[in-house]
Amino acid sequence: MERDILALAASIVLIIVLVRFRVDLGLAMLAGACTMALGAGFAPKWTVLEVWAAAIDKDTLLLFGRIATILALGAFAGKLGYLDHLVAGLKKMIRDNRIVVALIPAFGGLLPMPGGTMLTAPMIGTALKDDDVSPEELLFISYWFRHVWEYIWPLYPGVVFTATLIGRSVTDVFLAGWPLTLAAIVGGVIFVLRLVRAGRNETSPEERRRAWPELIKGVLPFAIVITGALVLKLELILVVLAVIALMAIFEKANVRDVALSLRKGVAPQIITLVFGVGAYKHLLIATGIRESVPEFLIQMQMPELIVIIAVPMLIGLITGVTLAFVGVTFPLLVPLFGSPEPDMHLVMLAFCSGFVGCLISPVHLCLVLAREHFGATFSRFYRMMALPLVLLMVVAIALVLWPSG
């Protein structure tokens, strides 16, 4: 087990070093995955075959297709002016531009999807293109406010999976988790958003009344995507492609604009990112290292509260996936949550710490894709994230130590 932990640590260090020297993140993830497998004692031939298996895996190909089509939709909507309509409508209705740019990703966050930040990231850039806002601020707004619902929104698989594993209802998770969503919103606003120089939108009452048609037109393509994927439960790729086709027909777009937008989704850095992250996650499971981490920490006989915090956070950090830390760690942690009924404050502390790990994970697709889009640096972005994340953890721990009734 100790060898597995050392191999994992070596892979993480290698990824950090390679990224520091501006190596493509997807390639760095691939190198880290191979290093992890070889360090854990697996043969080079086995490692190569498993990397290939990850590349052709159905889930990896579906993930790539979904991200590619989302990026194409954003590019095409921007080309046709839909993003401008949405942003202009919001600006006419809301004077404080900071509220506008926080609402955009929050709206997109109601649609759970891998790499979903890229659905609204272009809109953030459009809303703030004339303001003195850094790439890191753009990244924070787009990334942070999209994820404020993850603790309670019943359409997120992590919420449903958590409720199932602890034998409680989704409503129970919602009631226990809403303080975390509130803390996320407050932390993002107080520590970052209020400091952003986003200006004010001066509009007359008449202009605000005329903003509704513009706002509706801008929202329509994305509302169709949300309805098709969530309500009708259709495959996201097909829904997005259908929306692109409808937009092309109604706007009488030429074939070249459609082709250029589709090419945005298959850029080389997107391909390497998806397959690099896919290989790393696949090898974490195939080598058994993912299971070794929680077992290692529990065997160290750490205090129960520390285990509840550290185990999900580490799995969230190394996978960047909510379902991974819930599925791997919650079955181990259920005895620590209390019996016969689990203490929901302890459950949400575990969920919060795991999700904090996901938020800072260098393999979280939303983060790596949005960072590439805005050209932001990790170092300054992580400094911005520090205080909101601390507030989240303080609230989650406080709910455990000082429960209300």
Tens-digit pLDDT profile for residues 77-108: 878 877 677 777 877 888 888 888 888 888 77
For 257-274, what is the mean pLDDT?
A: 83
| pLDDT interval class at 38 (50, 70, 90) | very high
Mean per-residue pLDDT over the chain, rounded: 84
Structure tokens at 108: 């997109």
Taking the alpha carbons of 236, 237, 242, 245 in that order, is the dihedral positive or negative? Answer: positive
Phi, psi of 96 (to 5 degrees): -80, 110
Instruction: For 166-188, write each residue's pLDDT tens digit.
Output: 888 888 888 999 999 999 999 99
Q: Determine the pLDDT at residue 73.
A: 83
The 10 Å Cβ neighbour count of residue 312 is 30
**Model-wide pTM > 0.85:** no
For 99-122, what is the mean pLDDT?
A: 79
Q: Determine the pLDDT at residue 178.
A: 94
For residues 172 and 182, give the distance between their C-alpha atoms in angstroms, rounded to a whole number.
Answer: 16
For 17-34, what is the mean pLDDT?
A: 82
Instruction: For 200-253, write each residue's pLDDT tens digit.
Output: 777 777 777 777 888 888 888 878 887 887 678 788 889 889 999 999 999 888
| pLDDT interval class at 141 (50, 70, 90) | very high
For 11-17, what is the mean pLDDT?
A: 79
The 10 Å Cβ neighbour count of residue 182 is 14
For 66-71, what is the mean pLDDT?
A: 79
- To 5 degrees, how large is the angle CA 168–CA 169–CA 171? 130
Strand, helix or coil at 316? helix
Radius of gyration, alpha carbons of the chain: 22
| Cα atoms found within 13 Å of the Cα of residue 346, Cβ hemisphere only | 17
Residue 359: pLDDT over 80: yes
Residue 110: pLDDT over 90: no
CA dihedral 105, 370, 385, 284 (to 10 degrees): 120
For 264-275, what is the mean pLDDT?
A: 80
Give helix then strand counts, H and E, for the chain.
21, 0
pLDDT above 90 covers what percent of the chain? 27
For residues 266 and 69, give the distance between their C-alpha atoms in angstroms, rounded to a whole number.
Answer: 9
Q: Name the region of 288 (left: φ>0; alpha: ψ -120 to 50; beta: rest).
A: left
Residue 355: pLDDT over 80: yes
CA dihedral 152, 155, 156, 161 (to 10 degrees): 90
DSSP state of 96: B
Q: Is 319 exposed, middle or buried (0-12, 13-18, 19+ CB in 10 A)?
A: buried
